[in-house]
Structure 1
Amino acid sequence: MKFLKIFPVKTKDTSSEGQQLALYRKTGDINLLGTLYEPYMEMVYAICYKFLKKEDESKDAVMQIFEKLVSDLKRHEVENFKSWLHSVARSHCLMQIRSRHVFIVNEEIPETYGSTEFQNEEWEHSINLNSQLDSLEKCLEILVLEQRVTVELFYKQEKCYKEISGQTGFDLNKVKSYIQNGKRNLKICMDKNGSI
């Protein structure tokens, strides 16, 4: 995990994450963002490894996510950096997996690809993931409009509560409630369909 120690060591910043994020949006200082990101790199790596199952791909993903933050955090006001980052990492990995399998059809896999057992494992993992994503899409459709809209804006477009409130016209507290209830209803729906 030595690759995680890539940012220069600085003295502990006593300002809050919110203040650091605001300062980054104002200055665009990459070192400031690096200092903010570094304590969470192990968490991001763990999330990536859980989904991608490969050490090198997970390491690359940690760096790709940091590069994504460079531009995303200039546009988004984030209230809870850790949970937002968790969501970003998870979305990034799901998109990686989805893009890895969407265009593969059985005829395109060369016979020398590896053992049949490995191919079957990868194929089953791909089918299972695509099944879960399909189930998630179907469950999203059954949510009430307010829940569906806020959940999609929060998780798919990675908007913060304030941005969602501004975009939809929903009260800030209602936005939080819609997202929380939407998440709960999605989990119930997916549990019923055996997708989790």
Structure 2
Amino acid sequence: MKNFTDEELMLKVANGDLNKLSTLFDRYHIRLYNFFNKMIKDKTISEDLTQEVFMKILKSRHTYKNGNFTSWIFTIARNSFTNHYQKNKRERVHLLNDDIYNHTETTNNKTEDNINHLKNALLQLSKNDRELIVMHRFQEIKYEQIAEITGASVGSIKVKMHRAIKKLKTIYFQQL
């Protein structure tokens, strides 16, 4: 069986082959969950927003026009996050409970402290700065795709990313 690209699968979904959405779900649900969890720091809400993205894809599948699928799905995810953020204006500061870092009893306490310190510094950034860092550094989305998602130029995304990293470094090292 041919391995379809994300774009080919989404075109099939847009044309009514809804079974192909399960393949896209398998490819993207963890990335979306991790994106939301880094932005919101709440597992339940992250799961709900991930599900919401796929419901929106199903409802608006006819609007997909064969563009970059990663950009398209993260635009939907970003809009879902923004809607959630607007409903809950005050930012919650929770300790991150990511499944990304599975700590064992042999984990060095200093390493764990450094990771927690970085997570807390990330929480202190503005929503926009944190979003850029999460998309680029954690989700490995290219600048071009982030520019497409945010509606900005690649150059401005690079500048914003540079500034966000600089702010993160300042916050991180001030708290040591």
Alpha-carbon distance, 1:128 to partner: 5.2
Give 1:100 deviation, angstroms.
0.6
Equivalent residue in structure 2 for 1:186, among 154, 160, 167 = 160
Distance 2:33 2:164 in 1: 26
| Aligned alpha-carbon RMSD (Å) | 3.8
Task: State, as a whole percentage, how many aligned pairs show the same letter.
Answer: 18
Q: 1:18 aligns with which of 7, 14, 27?
A: 7
Cross-structure match for 2:149: 155
* Residue 55 (str. 1) matches residue 65 (str. 2): no
Task: Name the amino acid aligned to 1:26.
Answer: N
Higher fraction of helix: 1
Question: Aligned in 2, Cα 1:73/1:13: closer, same or farther, shift over 3 Å?
Answer: farther
What SS does the corresponding residue of 1:101 show, helix, strand or coil? coil
Larger radius of gyration: 1
Superposed CA deviations along residues 33-68 of structure 1, whole A, max 9, x for unmatched, are 222222211111111111221221111111101011
**8 Å Cα contact 1:132-1:195 kept in structure 2:** no
CA displacement at 1:13 relative to structure 2: 5.4
Task: Please say if 1:93 is aligned against 2:87.
Answer: no
Paired positions, count: 129
Higher relative contact order (CA 8 A, sep 6+): 2
Contact kept, 8 Å, 1:78 with 1:84, in 2: the verdict is no
User: Are the structure 2 counterparts of residues 128 and 97 from structure 1 closer, same or farther at C-alpha, using a change threshold of 3 Å?
Assistant: farther
Structure 2 residue runs without a partner (length 5+) = 95-120, 132-146, 170-176
CA contact (8 A) 1:47 1:90 kept: no
1:43 aligned partner: 31
